[in-house]
């Protein structure tokens, strides 16, 4: 049997403090300190606790060279080797774990980015408890729990040294930007027209042009910027209420401006999935459309291989796309939202996505705002809700 270490592996030492009454009797402070080691090894989701022998062994095993297991066992503790094999931190040649590791290697992930991505994915999280703990209210609870926030502006010069700039005259763009308000009150009884649905999708996600930048290197021109013109972030949809479009899961084809059906759903199934996708943020569940921003890592990393900025560029893509979707919806008198508090693993499973290759970074949505406000919306300009 031949083995090698996983391609991407990071180790984290942590200190655990336990109270021990006997330490006080001997003149101590009662706290016993224990050092623990944990491994983070995408595409494994969980952090993995290690013994001291396993930790030391990971530092001498190669991630590129296959080594005979029995020869390694003659030079290192066999129990530690067997433990690492069971934890899939070393993989056996020809195994499914080795094939998965090879796929990760071929996607050209930067190690730190892969660890960040996998360590921050959720599954089955219900945010209601979190929201209860950090209630967004004006009664001082946040200050009591968190203390005073940092200053509103990080000022770098005294007021008398600032150079005042003239305000631009109001324009249609100013009116549109001023009307953009994150919606937490969607009308569950109303349906988007197919024309509204189509217009928002095209303006935010659709391609204006597709052509080769170089022979066999196709790039897209969209209404938003993207690193290298690659536009590696695509739109997957949970449609709930749109005229002439059945509730279900879809992929949006940005070049053909068309929907690719993935799975049809009943209205109840769609609502249940919407709640799961947004981690039980109930004020987003009634949106007529959930548009999930899914990054295709291999397309971005094809050019920016093992690049320190590649993953950051994908996050920027999502910001550009979501703001454009906000403005496209606002122009039509519709409402929109974005949230990063999502259950990525549940979304991947619903759409059949492989997280080594592609994964959601945020859920956006748009639809019809309710006539009455039941959830707080930040609207200081009174663009939506009059005083």
CATH number of the domain encompassing residue 103: 3.90.930
Predicted local distance difference test score (pLDDT) of residue 236 = 98
Task: Check whether residue 358 and residue 265 sit in a common domain.
Answer: yes
Calculate the average pLDDT of the chain: 93
Confidence grade of residue 136 (pLDDT, cut at 50, 70, 90): low
Indicate whether 126 belongs to any domain.
Answer: no
Q: Does residue 17 lie within any of the structural domains?
A: yes
Where do we find the tokens 């499914």?
Answer: 96
DSSP code per residue over 204-228: HH-EEEEEEEETTEEEEEESS--GG
Measured from the Cβ of residue 323, the count of other Cβ atoms closer than 10 Å reads 17
- In this prediction, residue 93 has a pLDDT band, given cuts at 50, 70 and 90, of very high
Give the rounded percent of residues in the chain with a pLDDT score beyond 70.
96
Cα–Cα dist 311/140, whole Å: 37
CB 11 within 8 A of CB 47: no
CATH code for position 316: 3.40.109.10
| Same domain assignment for residues 103 and 179 | no
How far is 158 from 250, CA to CA, in rounded Å? 53
Same domain assignment for residues 197 and 331: yes
DSSP reduced 3-state for 341? coil
The answer to whether position 112 is within a domain reads no
- Asked if 292 and 233 touch (Cβ cutoff 8 Å), the reply is no
pLDDT at 138: 47
Residue 6 lies in a domain: yes
Phi-psi region of 107 (alpha: psi -120 to 50; beta: other; left: phi over 0): alpha
Give domain status of residue 386, yes or no: no
Q: Of 107, 122, 140, which residue is a domain's last?
A: 107
Quick one: 183 and 103 in the same domain? no
> Which range, 32-36, 69-73, 139-143, has the best average confidence (pLDDT)?
69-73
Number of residues written out for the chain: 387
Considering the domain architecture, whether residues 100 and 177 belong to the same structural domain is answered as no
Q: Are residues 187 and 57 in the same domain?
A: no
Residue 286 counted as domain residue = yes
Range of the domain at 185: 172-367
First to last CA, the chain: 73
The tokens describing 189, both together, are 């009884």
Q: What is the pLDDT of residues 106-128, one digit of tens each?
A: 999 999 999 999 999 999 999 88
Do 9 and 58 form a contact (C-beta atoms < 8 A)?
Answer: yes
Total domains, the chain: 2
- Tally DSSP H helices, then E strands, for the chain: 15, 14
pLDDT of amino acid 134: 59
Tell me the C-alpha distance between 341 and 276, whole Å.
11
Instruction: Give the residue from 107, 122, 137 where a domain finishes.
Output: 107
Q: Under DSSP, is residue 379 helix (H, G, I), strand (E, B) or coil?
A: coil
Residue-wise pLDDT tens digits, 261-275: 999 999 999 999 999
**pLDDT for position 139:** 53
Residue 142 counted as domain residue: no
Is the distance from CB of 274 to CB of 261 less than 8 angstroms? no
Domain check: are 200 and 309 in the same one? yes
Mean pLDDT for 5-13 is: 95
Better pLDDT: 387 or 179 = 179
Same domain? For 236 and 333 the reply is: yes
CB atoms under 10 Å from CB of 125, counted, come to 18
Indicate whether 242 and 361 sit together in one domain.
Answer: yes
- The DSSP result for 125-174, as a single string, is --THHHHHHT---SSSHHHHHH-SPPPSS---S-GGG----PPPPP-HHH
Angle at 335 between CA 351 and CA 324, to 5 degrees: 70
Please write the tens of the pLDDT for every residue from 13-67: 998 887 877 767 776 777 877 889 999 999 988 899 999 999 999 999 999 999 9
* H or E stretch covering 5: strand 2-5
Evaluate whether residue 157 is within a structural domain: no
Residue finishing a domain among 65, 80, 107:
107
Per-residue pLDDT tens over the stretch 281-331: 999 999 999 999 999 999 999 999 999 999 999 999 999 999 999 999 999
Please indicate, yes or no, whether residues 209 and 77 belong to a single structural domain of this protein.
no
């Amino acid at each position: 049997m031949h083995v090698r270490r996983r391609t991407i592996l990071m180790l984290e030492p942590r200190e655990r403090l336990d109270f021990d009454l006997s330490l006080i009797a001997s003149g101590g402070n009662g706290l016993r300190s224990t050092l623990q080691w944990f491994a983070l090894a995408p595409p494994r989701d969980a952090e993995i606790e290690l013994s001291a022998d396993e930790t030391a062994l990971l530092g001498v095993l190669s991630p590129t060279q296959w080594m005979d297991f029995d020869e390694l066992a003659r030079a290192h503790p066999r129990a530690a080797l067997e433990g690492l094999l069971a934890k899939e931190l070393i993989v056996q040649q020809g195994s499914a774990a080795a094939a998965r590791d090879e796929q990760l290697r071929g996607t050209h992930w930067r190690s730190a980015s892969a660890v960040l991505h996998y360590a921050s994915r959720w599954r089955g999280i219900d945010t209601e408890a979190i929201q209860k703990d950090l209630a967004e209210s004006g009664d001082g609870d946040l200050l009591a729990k968190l203390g005073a926030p940092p200053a509103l502006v990080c000022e770098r010069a005294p007021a008398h040294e600032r150079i005042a700039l003239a305000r631009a005259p109001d324009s249609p763009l100013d009116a549109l930007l001023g009307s953009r308000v994150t919606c937490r009150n969607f009308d569950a009884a109303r349906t988007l027209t197919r024309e509204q649905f189509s217009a928002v999708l095209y303006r935010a996600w659709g391609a204006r042009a597709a052509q080769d930048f170089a022979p066999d290197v196709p790039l897209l021109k969209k209404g938003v910027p993207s690193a290298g013109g690659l536009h590696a972030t695509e739109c997957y949809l949970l449609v709930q209420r749109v005229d002439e479009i059945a509730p279900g899961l879809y992929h949006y084809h940005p070049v053909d401006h068309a929907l690719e059906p993935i799975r049809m759903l009943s209205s109840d199934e769609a609502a249940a999935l919407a709640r799961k996708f947004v981690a039980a943020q109930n004020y987003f569940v009634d949106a007529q459309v959930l548009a999930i921003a899914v990054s295709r890592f291999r397309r971005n990393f094809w050019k920016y291989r093992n690049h320190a900025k590649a993953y950051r560029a994908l996050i920027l893509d999502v910001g550009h796309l979501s703001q454009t979707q906000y403005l496209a919806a606002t122009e039509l008198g519709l409402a929109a939202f974005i949230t990063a508090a999502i259950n990525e693993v549940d979304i991947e499973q619903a759409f059949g996505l492989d997280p080594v290759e592609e994964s959601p970074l945020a859920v956006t949505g748009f639809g019809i705002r309710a006539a009455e406000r039941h959830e707080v919306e930040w609207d200081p300009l009174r663009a939506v809700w009059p005083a």
